[in-house]
Structure 1
Amino acid sequence: MIEELVRRAAAEDDDAVEELSTIADTDPRRLIPHQGLLLDLDVLWPPKLYRAADDDVIRRVIGLVDDGQTPDQLNHLLLVLAHSGHPLAEHALRRWATHPPAGADTLHVGPLDYSTEGGWTVGPDGNRRDLCGDTAYRWLLRETTRGAEGRTCPWCASPLWIAADVDTAEPAVNAALAHTGWSGRLVIEVCHFCACYATLFSRVTPDGATTWWTGNTRPSYVPDADGPEDPPALLPVVGPARPTPYGASAWDRGGSTLGGHPDWIQDAEHADCPGCGQPMDYVGLVGGADLYDVGEGAYYLHLHQPCGFAAVNYQQS
């Protein structure tokens, strides 16, 4: 069945691509026996089809880049390597950072910068750092009367929205946030309106304190609201475990997720910590389909424990 889907995907059958993508999210190892055929048929998109790629497939992809025969495919090949997260892929991306392959002059970022598309990065110390976790839990949106203690957005005066209130004393939260190094209560509050237009940062501490970061700068393109807008009267509550780290959905009701990997609507957009400039760790996703009766888009939550910053950004189609 999967081989048939691969051949249909090669013939640009969108339904087949969607089915393969679902397999990549729910049981990526099922695709391992078919990834050689994916390469043979030039099915490189979406790159998440190669999440569980083995040594042989990764070596083939690296060889295609090194041969330089298909520079027009370089972007997709680098994405495949980034999504695999494989040690061989990491080594190759590091090598190409100083010795760029053919076609690298057409890229918008350097080869090693592609790593964030796969949820990892290389820090200033030269060591790899995973930006996403291996464990994920469904976030259930529950009605709440609790606001952000009367705090309002300095830009539009709307009441701030508590997008997350979790504590690592709960085993599920501790597992979901293990990659961040956070210990204690984490409260992330944000302006639900202005976050749709700019990444908003806050200071956070393990006792649950949270404050708007005074360095947030309002871009000129943020529209003026007609007046203060009430945030969603909903608070994410940790629900059952996801079968894989890839269960988040930015599109479907029930897709809000704590931990795991994000479902980016556009390119990966890990916020950079304003304290040190490094990519922040991904915390979770709150989907518009869960917040509103009719809604699209998603809020993405981030954290950088060493500097004590949280961030929220937003994507939509």
Structure 2
Amino acid sequence: MIDEELISRAIADDDDAMEELTEIADSEPERLVPYLGRLLDADVLWPATMYRYAPADVVERIIALVDGDGVTGARLLALANSRHQLAFEAMRRWIDQPPAGMDTLHVGMREYAEEGGWTIDPDGSRRDLCGDAAFEWHLREAPEPLFNPACPWCASPLWTAADLDGAEPGLAHVGWTGRLRFRTCHFCSCYTTLFSEVTPDGGSTWWAGNVRPDYLGAAQPEEPPTKLPSPGPARGNPFQASAWSAGGSTLGGHPQWIQDAEHPGCPGCGRTMDYVGLLGGADFDEYGEGAYYLHVHSACGFAAVTYQQS
């Protein structure tokens, strides 16, 4: 329950209160809207996900702070997570007219936007990387054996992480027509982003341009998971994926990142790829951790799998 005590504790930097607000930001972010002005008054900008449904007046105040006394990462993250049109217009302006303090940040304006699930393309237009609808993703044993070629790096059989119909509502934002299959190495993808070339007939081929990292040593072949995700009911909002909990695997919507947002660039054109879904380690194994994140760039026919763990 949100009450004055919880907000006061958050303003006082109480860790338990911040954890509770983080959970609310994922489950029911609209409940935080009446309190955002007060939190901003107290310069409470973390977790930035609290600002997901920030109204125009709150967004305008954060923009004025950046224009007035300079930029901070926390202010940009709050704006990015608001996904508000005013935030986009300001961040696009700041690409060409950097605000004071921009040179102290480690990444650029587009990378901050991606933390909120959208990007500013080279032509200055906005593009949403994530869907507005999210669906439970239940992992079930594949109905038949999956005969895949071997990983060229570790010789493990390649893993079919997902086999999707492009008409799934969770894929509406990616613009894919036909069958979309993600085939990768479940082991090597834990060490680097792995790309594959995909075709509408379900073709999925290891991309010859994948670069093996130097720190990936010799490995014994391992059998990949034999479970395939199957879409289930719609989730209550786009933010209810969980990288930590069993049942958190989700098609569409927005990912829960364990680390910073990681939307790969398309090997074909360099544009940021669209997010497809999250497969949580806890759904493969009761002791599993980490999460696999699936991405696609439909125009160039590339799919990607990334991995994060604590």
Shorter-chain TM-score range: over 0.9
- Point out 4+ residue stretches in structure 1 off by more than 6 angstroms: none
Letter in 2 for 1:197: Y
Identity of aligned residues (%): 62
* TM-score (ref. length: structure 2): 0.96
Which 5+ residue runs of structure 2 have no aligned equivalent? none
1:88-119 deviation digits (Å, cap 9, x = unpaired): 11111111111111211111122243111111
Which residue matches 2:216?
Answer: 222
Letter in 2 for 1:216: N
Rounded to whole Å, the distance in 2 between the matches of 1:177 and 1:147 is 26
Letter in 1 for 2:199: T
Q: Summarize the Cα distance change of 1:148–1:200 in structure 2 as closer, same or farther, 3 Å threshold.
A: farther
Aligned-pair CA distance for 1:16: 1.5
- Greater CA deviation, 263-272 or 6-15? 6-15
Q: Superposed, which structure 2 residues align to 1:66-215 within 5 Å?
A: 66-68=67-69, 74-144=72-142, 146=144, 148-169=146-167, 173=168, 175-215=169-209
Which 5+ residue runs of structure 1 have no aligned equivalent? none
Aligned-pair CA distance for 1:148: 4.5
Which residue matches 2:284?
Answer: 291
RMSD: 1.3
Which residue matches 1:27?
Answer: 28
- Greater CA deviation, 213-222 or 4-13? 4-13
Rounded to whole Å, the distance in 1 between the matches of 2:246 and 2:4 is 30
How many residues matched? 309
Alpha carbons 1:147, 1:160 under 8 Å: kept: no
Aligned-pair CA distance for 1:146: 4.4
Name the SS of the counterpart of 2:275 in structure 1: strand
Rounded to whole Å, the distance in 2 between the matches of 1:147 and 1:128 is 42
Which residue matches 1:6?
Answer: 7
Rounded to whole Å, the distance in 1 between the matches of 2:41 and 2:17 is 17
Alpha carbons 2:243, 2:249 under 8 Å: kept: yes
Rounded to whole Å, the distance in 1 between the matches of 2:48 and 2:113 is 12
Alpha carbons 1:147, 1:161 under 8 Å: kept: no
Name the SS of the counterpart of 2:61 in structure 1: helix
The equivalent position to 2:302 in structure 1, one of 303, 309, 316, is: 309
Which residue matches 2:55?
Answer: 54
1:246-274 deviation digits (Å, cap 9, x = unpaired): 01000011100000000000110001100
Which residue matches 1:234?
Answer: 227
Rounded to whole Å, the distance in 2 between the matches of 1:262 and 1:308 is 22
Alpha carbons 1:3, 1:34 under 8 Å: kept: no
Letter in 2 for 1:307: C
Aligned-pair CA distance for 1:147: 5.1
Which residue matches 1:279?
Answer: 272
Q: Summarize the Cα distance change of 1:44–1:191 in structure 2 as closer, same or farther, 3 Å threshold.
A: same
Name the SS of the counterpart of 1:179 in structure 2: coil
* TM-score (ref. length: structure 1): 0.94
